[in-house]
A = this chain, B = another copy of it.
Amino acid sequence: MCELLGMSANTPTDLCFSFTGLTQRGGNTGPHSDGWGVAFFEGKGLRTFHDSSASANSQVASLVQTLPIKSETAICHIRQANVGDICLANTHPFVRELWGRNWVFAHNGQIANFKGRVDVFEPIGDTDSERIFCDIMNHIRARLTRNASLEDLCALLTELAQGYAKQGVFNCLLSNGDWLFTFCSTKLACITRRAPFGNAQLKDADVTVDFAGETTPKDVVSIIATEPLTTDEAWHIYQPGEWKLWQKGEVLMEGAVKKSV
């Protein structure tokens, strides 16, 4: 299995604190040592870092921990391989271009022998996760238009997610830089930080931060992760079937689908 980390913020914000916590779980406080990746949106542009080595020992991860890359939307993933070799092509997050935007996807879970719709988007590596991503993108391209409403988008994404969750474990983060869609089949948590900001202590490293010193009173920053990353904050735990569409740090739409087997 793997672990996910996403961020949605109303102002460009760095992910250093949460990223430092998550990457410890890649070979240090957790077993997810089969690669890691992160994608930071900057407007429609995207900055990605991928590595097939353990994040806890990765030189690139060490740099990203200290680089103040400011983003409104970011998606990060650390991998514990179950399907597919340990190699760069199998390292999340995956990226495709559709309608002149970057679409980014990371998955936690497994769907054995998944076969998706055969169409324009094809997997490059050999993970079930990338096959699912291509299936999602092919459905979006075939069934929506570039000007589709977010209601229509969420209706399609939750329909697909419900189908995937029936076939296996499907926790995911998906973004086109404008919004961040999150779906929980088994495990996902989130927290929204806003004024008055306080302190937080990482669960996986001896690191604390005083958010008041790093923010303005108008900032709203939400973090979505497989498991809570801090020990002294109240995280919301997603229920199985629960989904949320985030934009600028706030929940724009949310709901739940039945996870019938």
Contacts and interface: CB of A to CB of B under 8 A. Distances in A.
Interface of A: 42-52, 59-60, 63, 67, 87-91, 95-97, 99-102, 120-125
B122 A97 contact: yes
Contacts of A125: 44-45
Given A59-B67, A60-B67, A97-B96, A44 B121 contact: no
Nearest to A91: B45
Total identical chains: 2
A44 B130 CA distance: 14
Nearest to A123: B100
A52 B97 CA distance: 20
B47 A50 contact: yes
Question: Which 8 pairs between the two chains have the least Cβ-Cβ distance?
Answer: A45-B88, A45-B89, A100-B122, A42-B88, A44-B89, A63-B63, A44-B124, A100-B124
A91 B47 CA distance: 10
B96 A122 contact: no
